[in-house]
Amino acid sequence: MSDNYLSWKEQRITEFSEENINTMYNRGFVCVRPENGLMQQTRSIRINLTKFELSSENKRILRKTEGLELNIHSLPYAQYSWEIGKMGKDFYEQKFGDGTFSANKIKELLTGKRDDFNRLLAYSLNNEFVGYCIAIETKEIIHYSYPFYNLHSEFKNVGMGMMLRAIEYAKNNGKKYIYLGSFQRPGDIYKLQFSGMEWFDEEVWRDDLEELKKIT
């Protein structure tokens, strides 16, 4: 999330058909927040959902976050409130430093006229909203792009519980892949605990995770 985000190439698209978005993601590009249609090629990671099965650790997290519900909304999001922007700003500030992701940028992504980001994944527990993820969905893919939640919540394992429910949603709805962002720092290792994981090496998609771990 910092300014040194790994980017090999940058491209702006004006064709927002699902086919074009699927193709760009398959080439290692991901949509990013600064501008509508801006895509960067990075060390993208994704799950091939035909190969995904819940591990014992995945099941343990699901049990520990029992009751966490996912609802998916199209963007722009009519129920946006300042509390959502503040939750996101605070999350990214605490995780990555001041000025990483402003509340205004979150509001822009959720309420503005963007052609790329088109979904808000909203998570609730005991009728309380505990987290969100700004995402892209086509018939073939989901990009689980900008998640955020209350880091001081009494509920534990919220972040991983959110990601797992998005993965299950993608698999249950016939998607080919769910993209989980990039792998560029040691802290990204948590993204690799899923079966069916693949990563883009600037040329092709690979599934040898031990080689990926050596890079960081």
107 located within any domain: yes
Contact between residue 147 and residue 92 where contact means Cβ atoms under 8 Å apart: no
Is 3 a residue whose pLDDT tops 50? no
Residue 17 maps to a domain? yes
The confidence score (pLDDT) of residue 4 equals 53
Alpha helices in 99-207, H assignment, sequence order: 103-111, 158-172
| 10-28 tens-digit pLDDT | 999 999 999 999 999 999 9
Please report which confidence band the pLDDT of residue 214 belongs to, taking 50, 70 and 90 as the band edges. Answer: confident
- For residue 129, tell me if it sits in a domain: yes
Tell me: pLDDT of 1 over 60: no
Query: Considering its fold, how many domains does the chain have in total?
Result: 1
Domain for residue 120, yes or no? Answer: yes
CATH number of the domain bearing residue 42: 3.40.630.30
pLDDT in tens, 88-134: 999 999 988 888 899 999 999 999 999 999 999 999 998 899 999 99
Query: How far is C-alpha 83 from the chain's CA centre?
Result: 20
Burial of 124 (0-12, 13-18, 19+ CB in 10 A): middle
Task: Assess contact for 46 and 166: CB atoms under 8 A.
Answer: no
Structural domain that includes position 210:
9-215
Specify the pTM.
Answer: 0.93
> Model confidence over 52-100: pLDDT tens digits?
999 999 999 999 999 999 999 999 999 999 999 999 999 999 988 888 8
Asked if residue 105 is part of any domain, the answer here is: yes
The pLDDT score that the predictor gives to residue 50 is: 98
Judge whether 3 lies within some domain: no
pLDDT tens for residues 133-169?
999 999 999 999 999 999 988 888 999 999 999 999 9
* Partners of 205 in beta bridges: 200
4 is a domain residue: no
